Amino acid sequence: MELKLKTPLSLEETQKLRVKDTVYISGTIYTARDSAHKRMVEEGAPMDLEGAVIFHAGPIIQEEDGQYRMVAVGPTTSTRMNPYEAQILDEGVRAVIGKGGMDQAVSLALKRNGAVFLAAVGGCAALYVQCVRRIKQVFWLDLGVPEAVWELEVENFGPLIVTMDSTGGDLYQEVRQRRER
């Protein structure tokens, strides 16, 4: 199934998503990597996480005369956020975008919160950046450009594939089980 969603995402929307669905997102998404996740857990998020979409990405940004322009934005390996993601999901995040899947604690948090993990294709940073309409603002630039939280306005951001859903469906686990046979 192919779906177009608008942020903030509702619980009803994300609970309907199933593994292998294709999703495109319009509205606001936030980039966040390791350092940003750690700070959100320790200090609280600088934005409202209810219905939010977090993108595990370290964008390439150009600054000119105090204005920021995103050059490329692609997914980073999500397992690095495993120590923090369950807590972030408990704050109301409805979707996490990344690559490679996440651990069992995150799977349980997705289920508990009616949220999903959406896989973005690695190597498509130039494609994904075309969906970014503008950078709305940046938080925690002191962490460095890749680790800062970038608030992005996106249109039809994707394609993204649901690889972990709110029912416990996990495409990564399915693949592992097939390999073991």
DSSP string, the chain: -EEEEESSPPHHHHHH--TT-EEEEEEEEEE--HHHHHHHHHH--SS--TT-EEE-B--EEEEETTEEEEEE--B-BGGGGHHHHHHHHHTT--EEEEBS---HHHHHHHHHHT-EEEE--TT-HHHHHTTEEEEEEEE-GGG-TTTSEEEEEEEEEEEEEEEE-TTS-BHHHHHHHHHH-
Query: Any idea which residues carry the catalytic annotation?
Result: 37
Q: Please give the Cα distance from 117 to 148 (Å, whole number).
A: 21
